[in-house]
Amino acid sequence: MSELQADNPRPSEYALGGGVFAVLMVLALGAMGLCGYLLWGSRGAGVAGCGEGSGCGTVLTSPWSKWLGIPVALLAMLVYADIVAGLLLLRRADFAPFPGAQRLVRFWLVMLAAALLAAAGWFTWVQAGVLHAFCPWCLATHSTGAVLALLLIGTLAPGPRSGLGAGAAGVALVAVLAVGQVLRPAPTYRIVDFAGIHIEAGRYPIVGDPHAPYLLVELFDYTCPNCRVLHHYLKEAQARFPGEFATALGTVPLEPPCNPIIADTDPIHAHGCEYARLALAVWRAAPGKFAAYDDWLNTGEAPPPVAAAQARAAELVAPRTVAEVLSDGWADAFIRQNVQLNELLRQRARQRGVLVGDGVPTLVLPDGTLMAGRPATAKEFLDSLGRALKRARAMASTRKAK
């Protein structure tokens, strides 16, 4: 008979006392609140002291902040929620739905406590040994979790055999997380910053290596001649600086139906909204095929006929239809957000004394500078980008040195 089943304690035998329960609950809820704040901030709201260029920002936007695409902060919240639920069950003096129930809850809580200690060690090592940057909020969460874990183990640890089993199970959970992060790293979606405007590039289609150390953000229109030229400049840049950057693309059609800032339609920008919707449909339904479709739309001096673009998109999103992919209106909402972002970026640039006009293209470079319009030649663009990458590397070196 296992230790979990060996005894059938009286209902009140393992009920937590009021003082111990209160301390454990405060720690668990506090750690869960910290995780919630980090999760909320990582979705674009921002975390205090964690802007672009800070060690904290480096940690929160690194591939190590996710596991198989899932934010680590969300996983931690679920662990703390489990601990809160377990503590509430043990607080009940009459909790005995079946023999060994309280022992099972104790085993589960000790397993989670061991996982918290292992996770604190793993992520502290990642910050110190891999990223060479520290996130105070993360360290506060790990510290709170470690104290909670030690108290849980000291208060609730079952017999030696079950205790070792619970500890091994908890460490194994973190081992699975660590192996997943090493073998399947999350794409490097940094928070790109310009003058205090934070752009979460992970919400945009990415062209280029998503694990590249630096990101550009381009706001553009498929019908815009200057944008089309810039597209080819960026292709040359990928060849000039292989593996150094990727580009996050935000469509800003210069056509009234989806851009409320534009009053009248210039014939040259006709169907801009439709091209943008089609590209977004391909990205949503078949993200691996987006880059090729985007390049095809940008081939030549003008976009392909709308009917051809629709037919190509239909092939790529099959077996779904384009209408099904766009049925919830998300693409139009996404475009409106891009329009607002483009206006905000240009307004902020003007406030800083930078002479910029209206429209697109708008490019946020890796060093946090803004390029409005396109350079006259590919060489001018490549030189500007090269200087921006050099400054971005210097900024990264400074962060590591700290």
Please tell me the CATH code under which domain 191-401 is placed: 3.40.30.10
**1 pLDDT band (50/70/90 cuts)?**
very low
> If you classify domain 3-183 with CATH, what class do you get?
mainly alpha
pLDDT at 49: 76
Q: What is the pLDDT of residues 276-304, one digit of tens each?
A: 999 999 998 888 889 999 999 999 999 99
Residue 394, pLDDT > 80, answer yes
Q: What percent of the chain shows pLDDT beyond 70?
A: 86
Identity of the highest mean pLDDT range in 199-208, 257-266, 349-358:
257-266
Residue 82, pLDDT > 90, answer yes
Q: What is the pLDDT of residues 362-383, one digit of tens each?
A: 999 988 889 998 899 999 999 9
pLDDT at 7: 39
Residue 390, pLDDT > 90, answer yes
pLDDT at 175: 94
Q: What is the pLDDT of residues 18-64, one digit of tens each?
A: 788 899 999 999 999 999 999 887 665 567 877 655 677 778 767 78
Segment 85-93 mean pLDDT: 82
Q: What is the pLDDT of residues 314-334, one digit of tens each?
A: 999 998 899 999 998 989 999
**351 pLDDT band (50/70/90 cuts)?**
confident
pLDDT at 27: 95
pLDDT at 3: 43
Residue of 351 and 221 predicted with greater confidence: 221
Query: What is the domain partition of the chain in residue ranges?
Result: 3-183, 191-401
Residue of 83 and 8 predicted with greater confidence: 83
CA distance 149 to 356: 55
